[in-house]
Amino acid sequence: MDTDFRFFPEQGSLNAATIDHLYYYLLAVTFVFTTLIFGAVGVFCVRYRRRPGRDVGRPVRTKISLEIAWIVIPLILALVMFFWGAGAYLPIYRAPSNALDVYVVGRQWMWKLQHAEGPSEINELHLPAGRPIRLLMTSEDVIHSFFVPAFRMKQDVLPGRYTTMSFETTRLGEYALYCAEYCGTKHSGMVGRVVVLSPSDYERWLAGGLSASSLTAKGQRLFLSLGCATCHQEAPGARGPSLLGLYGSRVFLQDGREVVADESYLRESIVDPAAKLVAGYQPLMPAFRGRVSEEELVQLVAYVRSLRRDGEGRADQ
Ligand code: CUA
């Protein structure tokens, strides 16, 4: 990071320029209307002030063209804001399928970052350049907010659920990471950095990143040690529903609802299985709330995600 003064942080993500342009537009609209309103107030104060012989104003006769103009012009300006904003928001909300997943766990007062390939980091996040990234975030205690100004990304990190944020890094470099939600005494110290490396450097970093086993391997160990496999066995008549090919599929619930098995669903079904009971199964599973940490939940979710119908997923351990 440099100490040069600048109005805007450098642009480190693909979406940053779009967001800046939208911001310039909002600033321009605000500037124009502020000037118009205060200008008109000033002019009218002088022009229509009380003068001898003009104590009472003339009744106002509205012109229909004027009415139409001040409805249509702001409407167009607001619609531009809406569609432009929605266009900028969509890629943050919806990650492409080839995105690299990184799990983020916030806690008072640090960021823990877990790569699917194994390495985990604290207050430091290494990413490859030119790749779509998806962050899957949760908190162990209070609300935090993951904020990287250079990426124009800010998203609240909430206890008890997952929020996601995706972006694509563009330039190599180091970018500041902040917590943008007041979360207690050392909130201001909950900072870190994001290091964007070239793809080859990133591979080297991953390889040097200890001999950590992959997230799915950790999840599988946990899955076995918690005894999950006793009921979730892939056999007819098993007490728990099959987990093969579950991730991303539609699940029919006892109460008639239908949900998509995303990460949030998987997490909830571990901590509170009764919340969304699968049709045709008994509420036998114990709730794991408080028995597994958020980091362990991330591992379990990653493992269940890896269980594909064709069995291919099991190979990536
Ligand atoms: Cu975490 Cu502020």
Distance, CA 110 to ligand 1 centroid (Å)? 8
In a domain, 312, yes or no: no
Last residue of a domain, one of 180, 212, 244: 212
Distance CA 170, CA 134 (A): 15
Distance CA 148, CA 127 (A): 13
Q: CA angle, 141 as apex, 136 and 143 as ends, to 5°?
A: 65
Distance, CA 149 to ligand 1 centroid (Å)? 15
Whether the pTM exceeds 0.75: the reply is no
Last residue of a domain, one of 185, 212, 239: 212
Last residue of a domain, one of 192, 212, 232: 212
Distance, CA 193 to ligand 1 centroid (Å)? 15
Q: Same domain for 76 and 154?
A: yes
In a domain, 285, yes or no: yes
Q: Same domain for 1 and 148?
A: yes
Report how far apart the first and last C-alpha atoms of the chain are (Å, whole number). 37
Q: Same domain for 86 and 203?
A: yes
Distance CA 74, CA 139 (A): 40
CB 273 within 8 A of CB 291: no
Which pLDDT score, from 0 to 100, does residue 82 have? Answer: 95
CATH code for the domain of 194: 2.60.40.420
Tell which atom from ligand 1 comes closest to the C-alpha of 157: 1
Residue 205, preceding bond cis, omega within 30 degrees?
no
Domain count, the chain: 2
Q: Same domain for 208 and 227?
A: no
Question: Widest CA span of the chain, in angstroms?
Answer: 97
Run means of pLDDT, 10 residues per run, the chain, 317 residues:
72 86 94 95 89 76 88 94 92 86 89 83 88 90 92 90 89 90 90 90 77 74 80 76 83 87 86 85 81 83 78 41
Residue 157 CB–ligand 1 contact under 6 Å: no
In a domain, 314, yes or no: no
- What is the per-residue pLDDT across 235-262, written as a single tens digit (0 to 9) for each? 777 778 888 888 888 888 888 888 888 8
CB 125 within 8 A of CB 113: yes
Which pLDDT score, from 0 to 100, does residue 311 have? Answer: 47
CATH code for the domain of 276: 1.10.760.10
Q: Same domain for 151 and 231?
A: no
Residue 146 class from Cβ within 10 Å (0-12 exposed, 13-18 middle, 19+ buried)?
A: buried
Buried b (16+ CB within 10 A) or exposed e, 48-87: eeeeeeeeeeeeeeeeeeeeeeeeeeeeebeeeeeebeee
Q: Do the bridges between strand 124-128 and strand 132-139 make them parallel or antiparallel, or are there none, so unpaired?
A: unpaired
Three-state SS letters, the chain = CCCCCCCCCCCCECCHHHHHHHHHHHHHHHHHHHHHHHHHHHHHHHHCCCCCCCCCCCCCCCCHHHHHHHHHHHHHHHHHHHHHHHHHHHHHHCCCCCCEEEEEEEECCEEEEEECCCCEEECEEEEECCCEEEEEEEECCCCEEEEEHHHCEEEEECECCCEEEEEEECCCEEEEEEECCCCCCCHHHCCEEEEEECHHHHHHHHHHCCCCCCHHHHHHHHHHHCCHHHCCCCCCCCCCCCCCCCCCCEEEECCCCEEECCHHHHHHHHHCHHHHCECCCCCCCCCCCCCCCHHHHHHHHHHHHHCCCCCHHHHCC
Q: Same domain for 32 and 176?
A: yes
In a domain, 262, yes or no: yes
Residue 152 class from Cβ within 10 Å (0-12 exposed, 13-18 middle, 19+ buried)?
A: buried
Q: Same domain for 266 and 133?
A: no
Residue 183 CB–ligand 1 contact under 6 Å: yes
Residue 180 CB–ligand 1 contact under 6 Å: no
Range of the domain at 298: 215-306
Tell which atom from ligand 1 comes closest to the C-alpha of 180: 2
Which pLDDT score, from 0 to 100, does residue 315 have? Answer: 37
Q: Same domain for 270 and 158?
A: no
Q: Same domain for 26 and 155?
A: yes
Q: Same domain for 237 and 197?
A: no
Q: Which two tokens stand for residue 224?
A: 């076995």
Which pLDDT score, from 0 to 100, does residue 3 have? Answer: 62
CB 272 within 8 A of CB 287: yes
Distance, CA 159 to ligand 1 centroid (Å)? 12
Residue 107 CB–ligand 1 contact under 6 Å: no
In a domain, 27, yes or no: yes
Q: Same domain for 177 and 295?
A: no
Q: Do the bridges between strand 173-179 and strand 192-197 make them parallel or antiparallel, or are there none, so unpaired?
A: antiparallel
Residue 115 CB–ligand 1 contact under 6 Å: no
